């Protein structure tokens, strides 16, 4: 992968606390485009979070860390429990079969986080309550 000079989205969000809606919309649009491409290649990403998104000098974002990604060319669903807990979709939490919808769920959580400044399901570190909320 090429060097991406802008750093993690996580760092930029911590400094800004939250982004203006137009800025967040641009980031989400570029991530949605990347997810659409991955899904067209039958790749499930499963690890959307601010620390896995790098910022280019041109303002575009790059997805990194494909360690939890899954190739769905031989199957239509999966049921592994993986990802960052506060971004997990309900299907993962209840240990049900899932597919690409979990990436779109995580993108929705990220959208909320970028605009509001906190994760909608974070519950003071209480994982049980967070999973109940999800």
| Catalytic residue annotation | 47
Of 44, 41, 43, the residue nearest 103 (C-alpha): 44
- Where is 132: in which H helix or E strand? helix 127-133
Collect all residues with Cβ–Cβ distance below 8 Å to 34 and sequence separation of at least 6.
62, 63
Residue 114's φ and ψ, nearest 5 degrees, are: -65, -35
């Amino acid at each position: 992968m090429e060097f991406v000079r802008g750093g993690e989205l996580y760092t930029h969000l911590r400094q800004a606390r939250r982004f203006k809606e137009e800025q967040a919309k641009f980031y989400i649009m570029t991530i949605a485009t990347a997810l659409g491409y991955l899904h067209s290649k039958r790749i499930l990403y499963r690890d959307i979070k601010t620390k896995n998104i790098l910022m280019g000098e041109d303002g575009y974002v790059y997805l990194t860390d494909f360690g939890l990604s899954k190739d769905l060319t031989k199957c239509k669903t999966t049921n592994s429990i993986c990802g960052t807990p506060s971004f997990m979709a309900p299907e993962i939490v209840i240990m049900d079969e899932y597919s690409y919808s979990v990436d779109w769920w995580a993108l929705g959580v990220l959208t909320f986080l970028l605009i509001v400044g906190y994760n909608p399901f974070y519950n003071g570190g209480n994982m049980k309550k967070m999973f109940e909320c999800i």
